[in-house]
Structure 1
Amino acid sequence: MNLQDIYLNLKKDLEIVEQALARSVEADVAVLRDASLHLLKSGGKRMRPVFVLLSGHFGRYEVERLCRAAVALEMIHMATLVHDDVIDDADTRRGRKTVKAEWDNRVAMYAGDWLFARALRELADLGDHRVQVILAEAMRLMCLGEIEQIEDLYAERLSLRRYLRRIKRKTALLMSISCHLGALVAGASEEHIRLLRAYGYYVGMAFQLTDDVLDLTGDERILGKPAGSDLKQGNVTLPVLHVLHTGTADHRQKILDFLRSQGMADNLGEVLDIVRGGGGVEATLELSRRYLNKAIDCLNRLPDSHQRESLRLIAEFIVRRNY
């Protein structure tokens, strides 16, 4: 079985999710509807709905209930992307114009708010107070993660602990919640819910660490953005942190000069070469693999099934992907 097989096995239920997403973003106000549909049609792997559906198999699999959770989580993810594009002043995402580029910042912000509101409505219809409490707390922490990233822009002395906490809140948390809610909505046992929630967290951490490497080493034609975009925008990631802590004095100084220029210095290429050659990429990928191993350890304590194997393959793909 490979990644394509996983999506083929879930095709029918993912189509239900896709149709529900299209219905959920409907709005009486044309610009809200069009902006939301624009983002919806930009694609994506629908990783969070996949986690919901696969986790739901460890309990009573009721596709209509699981679909509501999957739709809500995907809309929350979409809303964060819209808002991120405003903050980052990004004109493209996945090779398409962003909402802020197609319309403007105001429309993008309201479209993101609309998606958040629609997500909460989907969850309310589940009639399970626990789901709303869990997601409300997750959204609170995600917002804190976003604020921390703004506070840490071009930071020269960012600690590893703060960096890991930030990527947990910005990325890993929603993946963890996707597995958690899928199992919870399906009525899985407390132990299975705990293991799936932990699996989602470890996979989310591995995902973001790999993403931070790809920002430095990936092909612009595949990524849809220039290499080093994060660093130019002031987002100091683990590969850069590694060189700041372990590199030569000359290399550290060149990175610091770039950060102090607020990304305006014209030596981004040289700085990227320093980071790529300074061991930061290897150290970050090694940490990503450690999180992968923790995720697989969680899976090994779950009942053997096709769904468990699917979750394992997804975790391995996330760490080894090149886009």
Structure 2
Amino acid sequence: MDKLKLKALYADLRPDLDQVEKELITSVASDAPLLTDASLHLLQAGGKRIRPVFVLLSAKFGDFSIERIKHVAVPVELIHMASLVHDDVIDDADTRRGRPTVKAEWNNRMAMYTGDFLFSKAIASLANIEKPYAHKLLADTMVELCIGEIEQVEDKRLYDLSVKDYLRRIRRKTALLIRVSCELGALASEVDDKTRIHLRNFGYYVGMSFQIVDDILDIVSTDEMLGKPAGSDLLLGNITLPVVYARDEANVSRLLARIEQGDTTEETRHELLTVLRKSEGLEKAKRLSNLYLEKAMNEMRSLPNSPAKRSLQNIALFMSKRKF
């Protein structure tokens, strides 16, 4: 299973990740049991913990201390979790990672409160790091992430979405949080400025590649692999890069027109997946993902050789070639 292979790539980080996991559980404790239960529901659903991994590995280039670094790894994961809870409300999603979403287990209002709670807990966790620039970085990223959520709503059923608009959206949705994970890890461990900037750029390019691959997998993977119906994002009107590239093909255009008119049946979903899997849009999207991956690898070449560098390279390569 690909998820297990990925975890094997950062097995050396397991003791540090265990510390982060304990801190995550502690951080979502609340006097309001419902908020705690809803937060733990998402937390215990699992996840690859990619953002904390990037924090930890970037911090390895400096003066590493897990007692300090965990207060950076925790907030980036909490922000990621908060964005997932909000996304599920926006998309009216009932499952994530094969489990009921917070909005499905409770309701939309509870999901929104949970997301806000996780955002606030992220800010509280970073308060342990006495670096004003780190707080500005995280705050700016949270603002951009929220703008990205609004853009996702505004772009729904925007069937003439441009490549530029798509890239702007995934920049805010995914790439900026991975970028800030790398930069905050470097900041917290006193990494020199030159190395920090290379790590920041690496995180950004990996994030762009990662999200494009994610959108490809929403088309080529099975429902079981995704833990949700494949192509469900498309039926909801979330237009992704493979569709942008393929929408002028006759079969794709015909099916998009049906969806635009309200035909969102299971039959239509399967038909759309079939034609998209045969389209040129997938290959074009893969090529752009690979270009971002190449940019990420170029940033790594400027860093000193170390186990952390090799791990970052291997994880980036795996994330951009994964099949889950």
TM-score range normalised by the length of the shorter chain: over 0.9
CA contact 1:258–1:265 (8 Å) conserved in 2: no
Output the CA distance in 1 between the equivalents of 2:47 and 2:196. 26
- Are 2:195 and 1:188 equivalent residues in the alignment? no
Counterpart residue identity of residue 107, structure 1: M
- Pair 1:150–1:301, CA change in 2 (3 A): same
| 2:92 corresponds to | 89
Cα deviation, 1:216-265, whole Å, max 9, x if unaligned, reads 110111111111111011100011111124x24x5424323323437469
Output the CA distance in 1 between the equivalents of 2:27 and 2:9. 25
| 2:307 corresponds to | 306
Output the CA distance in 2 between the equivalents of 1:61 and 1:179. 14
CA contact 2:7–2:48 (8 Å) conserved in 1: no
- Are 2:181 and 1:178 equivalent residues in the alignment? yes
| 1:214 corresponds to | 217
- Are 2:316 and 1:315 equivalent residues in the alignment? yes
Kindly state the Cα deviation for residue 5 of structure 1 after the two structures are TM-superposed.
3.9
User: Structure 1 unaligned runs (5+)?
Assistant: none
| 2:42 corresponds to | 39
Aligned partner (choices 11, 14, 18) of residue 11 of structure 1: 14
| 2:116 corresponds to | 113
Output the CA distance in 1 between the equivalents of 2:105 and 2:246. 38
Q: Percent identity?
A: 48
- 93-102 or 269-278, which moves further after superposition? 269-278
Aligned partner (choices 128, 151, 167) of residue 125 of structure 1: 128
Output the CA distance in 2 between the equivalents of 1:305 and 1:260. 55
CA contact 1:231–1:263 (8 Å) conserved in 2: no
CA contact 1:234–1:263 (8 Å) conserved in 2: no
Kindly state the Cα deviation for residue 4 of structure 1 after the two structures are TM-superposed.
4.0
Kindly state the Cα deviation for residue 121 of structure 1 after the two structures are TM-superposed.
0.5
- Pair 1:60–1:154, CA change in 2 (3 A): same
| 2:255 corresponds to | 254
CA contact 1:36–1:115 (8 Å) conserved in 2: yes
CA contact 2:232–2:269 (8 Å) conserved in 1: no
> Structure 2 matches for 1:259-270, cutoff 5 A?
259-261=260-262, 263=264, 267-270=268-271
| 1:297 corresponds to | 298
Output the CA distance in 2 between the equivalents of 1:321 and 1:5. 14
CA contact 1:172–1:204 (8 Å) conserved in 2: yes
| 1:77 corresponds to | 80
Residue 247 of structure 2 aligns to a residue whose secondary structure is: helix
| 1:59 corresponds to | 62
- Are 2:51 and 1:48 equivalent residues in the alignment? yes
CA contact 2:10–2:311 (8 Å) conserved in 1: no
Residue 61 of structure 2 aligns to a residue whose secondary structure is: coil
> Structure 2 matches for 1:230-241, cutoff 5 A?
230-241=233-244
- The alignment's C-alpha RMSD in Å is 1.5
Output the CA distance in 2 between the equivalents of 1:275 and 1:92. 23
